[in-house]
Amino acid sequence: MEKLLILLIILKVASSYIYYDTGMVDDFQAYVYSSFVCKNGYSKIATKSFSNQFENTPQVFFVHEQFDLNKAELGFQLAITAITQTCIDKIYCNMNRVITVSLRWFAIDDQRIEVYSNFNMANPDDKTFQIKNPNAKTGFVAITSFNYTNTETTLSYNWKTWFETDTPNSHSQVWVAYQFTKTFKPLECFSIRTSRKEVLNLATLPTFTVELIQTNQIYTTNGNYQYVVDKSITPLKMGIQVKCENGMKIQADFNKCNSCSTKKNQSFMYNCFNQMNYVGFFPLFQQAFPQYNLLKINMQSSLLEIINVIYDQTLTEQVIVKIQILNQ
């Protein structure tokens, strides 16, 4: 009898992707490029390559490191026109000469950071941006366009030193770094109580009733909903009631262990019969530290899903509650 020995070799390949990169744009400097004569409608495009490959197309923004301006009456516009594995910047000068615009760019592949670009508004007005990440705490604004004339007499400077500029300005420095000490994970069910009972008027009740107990949010109608749970609510208490009609069964799963490779869920299976036709689940959820939680609630005729949307390095959607009504 011949025996065949099969050797399986599993190679663990380290990720070669980068998630952060930064660099300088010196293409818009007359001291470096003598052909850079930025005035009266002149424009120039600069293409910058990243130091390595990003897994996803990164978010890119820039901040100003230095201005060198010929006269007080001038204007220039900057824009990021394309982002792939390179970043393309463009400058346009519409009046007197701009000698130097030195930029530092940042490229970040991380969903804990949101970049909103609003380049070169012809008529500046109020803008409102919807922040997707409920755990975002700090924001700052970077200038992309600059237009001014020498019409005022007041001077105010608090950003290091500005030379030969006599138009009023007030600036503050912003220190930018990419460093996170917290990793955001989905809610975990650490405790759950269940109940079963007989309800005589079952036909008058909705198939699912979901209650977020601390906020008194109640959902009973089929549809898709979103709700942000405040970070002060911990543990998060839910009450879920399910109709369990005769001849059906209920399969319920609750996310209990994010780090487990197996047995990630706390699972229940109940067969339905007339004397036990209404099932209740009362889970408690928690996380390693207080954080806002965006929940998506998907309620259908025989399926309930509660999804926790997590903004970490990547955007993930984790099902933390799944209840199905099935045939026996």
pLDDT in tens, 88-126: 888 888 777 788 888 888 899 999 888 888 777 767 677
Q: Distance between CA atoms of 99 and 211, rounded to whole angstroms? A: 62
Q: What is the pLDDT of residue 210?
A: 98
Q: What is the pLDDT of residue 154?
A: 46
Average pLDDT over residues 206-232: 97
Q: Distance between CA atoms of 22 and 172, rounded to whole angstroms? A: 21
CA end-to-end distance (rounded Å), the chain = 48
Q: Are 212 and 193 in contact (CB under 8 A)?
A: no
Query: Which of 133, 102, 100 has the alpha carbon at shortest distance from 116?
Result: 133
The Cα-based distances of 328 to 196, 244, 246 in angstroms read 18, 11, 9
Per-residue DSSP letter, 204: G
Is a pLDDT exceeding 70 seen at residue 313? yes
Based on C-alpha coordinates, what's the Rg of the chain? 29
Sign of CA dihedral 78, 81, 82, 83: positive
Q: Which two tokens stand for residue 325?
A: 């009504």
Q: What is the pLDDT of residue 193?
A: 97
Continuous segment of H or E residues that includes residue 23: strand 20-25
Is a pLDDT exceeding 80 seen at residue 3? no
Q: What is the pLDDT of residue 188?
A: 98
Q: Distance between CA atoms of 82 and 71, rounded to whole angstroms? A: 31
Average pLDDT over residues 321-325: 98
pLDDT in tens, 40-71: 888 889 898 999 999 999 999 888 887 777 76
Domains for the chain: give ranges and CATH numbers. Answer: 20-148 (2.60.40.2080), 188-327 (no CATH)
Q: Are 28 and 42 in contact (CB under 8 A)?
A: no
Phi–psi pair at 204, nearest 5 degrees: -85, -10
Give the position of tokens 């509660």. Answer: 306
More confident residue, 26 or 242: 242
From start to end of 235-292, where are the E strands?
Answer: 236-243, 248-255, 265-271, 278-286
Is a pLDDT exceeding 60 seen at residue 74? yes
pLDDT in tens, 280-297: 999 999 999 999 999 999
Sign of CA dihedral 77, 80, 82, 86: positive
Percentage above 90 pLDDT, the chain: 46
pLDDT in tens, 222-278: 999 999 999 999 999 999 999 999 999 999 999 999 999 888 999 999 999 988 999
Q: Distance between CA atoms of 146 and 120, rounded to whole angstroms? A: 9
Q: Are 145 and 64 in contact (CB under 8 A)?
A: no
What's the order of all strands across the beta sheet hosting 20-25? 20-25, 98-108, 59-69
The secondary structure of 291-308 as a DSSP string is --EEEEEEE-SSEEEEEE
Give the position of tokens 């940042």. Answer: 106
Q: What is the pLDDT of residue 148?
A: 63
β-bridge partners, 60: 107
Continuous segment of H or E residues that includes residue 212: strand 208-212
Residue 136's pLDDT band, with cuts at 50, 70 and 90, is confident
Which range is least confidently modeled, 174-183, 300-309, 312-321? 174-183
